[in-house]
Amino acid sequence: MASFATACRLSARLASRRVAQDASVRGLRTSAASRAAQNFTMPALSPTMTEGNIATWKVKEGDEFAAGDVLLEIETDKASMDVEAQDDGIMMKIFAADGSKAVQVGTRIGVLAEPGDDISSLEIPADESKSAQQGAKKEEAPSQSGAPSEAAPQKKAADSSKRKTSGQKAPPQKYPLYPSVEHLVKEHKLDEAALSEITPTGPQGRLLKGDVLAYLGSITESRPADIKKRFDHNSHLDLSNIKIAAPAAPPKAQKAAAPEAPVPEDLLVVLPISLASVIETQKKIEASLGTFLPLSTFVARAAEVANDELPLPSNYKPSANELFNQVLGLDKVDPKVSRGLYIPQITAVPPTSFTGVAPKPKPSKVDIIDLLSGSPKKSAKPAAQSLGQPGISAGTNTFSLKVPKSEEKRAQVFLARLKTVLEQDPGRLVL
């Protein structure tokens, strides 16, 4: 409910209490007829609202209502809103029916009574909104003699006394005005001449609310200028207090970098293996079958046999199932093995390399016939003769593997198997 209606209701209550007190003192009786009804005017539901349309009344004449009940629905050009009752009361009379258009704010639209009042005996109060409008029109209208009324000059003089003008012409205003400025202009009925006297202090020469308030005398005249000065000062970056930093001190000698972890080098696993048994088998096959098998074939087949079921490297990471088998001890019953991919490097060495003592050469006897005839003596057959394979001889050969540290044991097992096959049972390689 509008604040004006609330104020009217409050004054009526105070008046009724005063009448009751006087009656009790004088010995008189009071009745419901002594109570007053209040006008209910069109409320302003927003600061910029000047008029509205009555969509529908939620109560009828004679209906009682409680605080918080919706009395009517008002429509504006922006929204549709409900008006709620602030106190309990009775809807005595409705003056603006449903569908009323362009009802000005402050115009009487109904009359309200207090709870328990006999509305049939109450008098409808005078329409104060019409009397106020008529009084305003009389003040504005000139008298019959053509001279303005006395109230109008007094009001204008009062308004002009509050305004602070510099007497100078201000730059033309930029439109549209800010909503707050436009509201003040309409509220105080400032015309173009008045706006031309106001000096704008806003960005890009725009008029601000503070400029209008200073013109009306609501704030000091210097307040807008002070605010503009502060904003102009803060809008520029002040570099006067910035000093150039001193050159940085030369960096201290960095500490010696920690030595990097050594990269593990590969190990060379070596094992001497004799090919005497392989040569004998080679001769037997050539004599019986007429087929010559080179030593490289025997070595390749022996490497295939030796690569089967080798132990795992020391850095092998077992799977979840293998870890579970280790907990149960099943890894010892059926140890995990894998096939290798080793290819040995073979180097032929003299037999003396492994005995440590070189045999003394036997003195050869000089035949006088050979010496006189000039025919050369046949040289003795070397103990280790080449078999047509580079790096392989009929004597002892060095088999080597270059492997990481974690595969040292695995490589040793491979070379041991290779030695067993080539020295003890090379015939199985032919089958």
Domain boundaries, the chain: 3-133, 153-234, 267-356+384-429
Burial degree of 422 (CB within 10 A; 0-12, 13-18, 19+): buried
- Residue 131: predicted pLDDT: 64
Residue 71 pLDDT greater than 60, yes or no: yes
pLDDT the model gives residue 361: 57
Question: Could you say which DSSP state residue 64 is in?
Answer: E
Q: What is the model's pLDDT at position 46?
A: 78
- pLDDT tier for residue 360 given thresholds of 50, 70 and 90: low
In terms of Cα–Cα distance, which of 364, 384, 385 is closest to 376?
364
Q: Does the pLDDT value for residue 422 go beyond 50?
A: yes
- Mean pLDDT value across residues 344-363: 59
Q: How does pLDDT run across 89-134, given as a tens digit for each residue?
A: 899 889 888 988 888 888 999 989 888 888 888 888 888 776 666 6
| Segment 33-42 mean pLDDT | 72
Average pLDDT rounded to a whole number, residues 199-212: 86
Residue pair 326/318 in contact (Cβ under 8 Å)? The answer is: yes
- The pLDDT of residue 403 is 87
Q: Taking 50 as the threshold, does the pLDDT of residue 148 lie above it?
A: no
Does the pLDDT at position 73 exceed 80? Answer: yes
What's the pLDDT score for residue 19?
42
| Crossing angle for the helix pair 295-306 and 276-289, to the nearest 10 degrees | 120
Of the chain, the percentage scoring pLDDT greater than 90 comes to: 3
For β-strands 51-57 and 103-104, DSSP reports them as antiparallel
pLDDT digits (tens, 9 = 90+) for 374-403: 555 554 443 334 444 555 666 678 888 888
Predicted local distance difference test score (pLDDT) of residue 120: 82
On whether the 3-133 domain is CATH 3.30.365.10, my answer is: no
The pLDDT-based confidence of 136 (bands split at 50, 70, 90) is: low
Give the model's pLDDT for residue 72: 92
Report the C-alpha gap between 35 and 16 in whole angstroms. Answer: 6
Which residue has better confidence, 3 or 189?
189
What is the average pLDDT across 5-18? 49
Least confident of 218-222, 386-390, 423-427: 386-390
- For residue 377, give the amino acid letter: K
Q: What is the pTM of this model?
A: 0.33
Poorest-confidence range of 60-74, 243-257, 348-362, 374-388?
A: 374-388
Q: For the chain, how many residues are written?
A: 431
Taking 60 as the threshold, does the pLDDT of residue 26 lie above it? no
